[in-house]
Structure 1
Amino acid sequence: MQQIPNRIGKRPRVQPHADFVEREDGFYLYLDMPGVEKEKLHLDIENDKLSVQAKSDFGLTSGERVHSMEFGEVEYFARFEVSELVDKQKVSAKFENGVLTIYLPKRKEAPPKRIKIEVL
């Protein structure tokens, strides 16, 4: 996980590990975000930018001493450029076992159009 230097309150802001795969039907983006609950996950597309934001909660109880913590309470944030090849109206996502899968379907190309020529 790449540490991004700024913080949001007490939570460090980190960029989740990501895999980007192209298949015949579209693009798949897989983001690893352990500890995130669906209710604290937000996905937006605006001006050809895909933004993912989430918060993880690994609350410590009183009396616990942390000896090592590699992914505690963090804010995940990632932004991606969305290609003109993507049909932005049909983007979908699912979140399962700490992995966000975003499906970015390829836009259907308009079939060639024959233009009728009028004789004057």
Structure 2
Amino acid sequence: MNEVSRQQTRQQPEATSQEAREPQAELAMQPPVDIFEADNALHLLVDMPGVTRDALRIEVDNNVLSLEGDIQLDMPEGMSAIYAEVRAQRYARRFTLSHEIDSDAIAARIDNGVVHVTLPKKQSHHRRRIEVKSA
């Protein structure tokens, strides 16, 4: 876990009752993440149900990996909401990458709301077994 550290997603100040009804006042949710390590890479599994490939943004800037995704639920035609608990949401999560990660080779895919991010380690940081020879 030395190669990746979590950063807090910047939270907006608490909304007033007027602002709470406006969509732009919604806070981003932090999606749950599992991190697995292999000899040559780290693998992140990020749970973002409802996010499509087109609504997913993954970027690296100054060794900070940012994952953001939006959910936009459509209103059924000819209906208006009188009570709604399920609404548009935004996911956001950030991680600081160490110098051991090859940020140019990061790859990602989404499958059924789970984002799979592969963070390859630089060649110089791959674990390898050293053969021991007898004298």
Into which bin does the TM-score normalised by the smaller protein fall? 0.7 to 0.9
Is 1:29 the counterpart of 2:44? The answer is yes
Residues 18-63 of structure 1 show CA distances to partners (whole Å, capped at 9, x for unaligned) of 1111111210011111111111111100101001111012223324
Identical amino acids, percent of aligned pairs: 25
* Aligned mates of 1:36, 1:67 — CA distance in 2: 19
State the SS of the aligned residue for 1:85. Answer: coil
Counterpart AA for 1:30:
L
Counterpart amino acid of residue 36 in structure 2: V
The one-letter code of the counterpart of 1:85 is E
Partner residue of 1:73? 88
**Cα distance between partner residues in 1 of 2:36 and 2:83:** 37
Could you list the runs of 5+ residues in structure 1 that have no partner in the other structure? 111-120
* TM-score, normalization by structure 1: 0.76
Check 1:17–1:105 CA distance in 2 against 1; reply closer, same or farther (3 A cut): same
TM alignment of 1:99-110, pairs within 5 A: 99-109=114-124
* The one of 79, 85, 88 aligned to 2:103: 88
Rounded to whole Å, the distance in 2 between the matches of 1:84 and 1:93 is 19
- Normalised to the residue count of structure 2, the TM-score between the two structures is 0.68
Per-residue deviation, 1:5: 5.3
Higher share of residues assigned strand: 1
The count of aligned residue pairs is 106
CA distance change for structure 1 residues 20 and 83 in 2, over 3 Å: closer, same or farther?
A: same
**CA RMSD after TM alignment:** 2.4
Task: Show the counterpart of 2:54.
Answer: 39
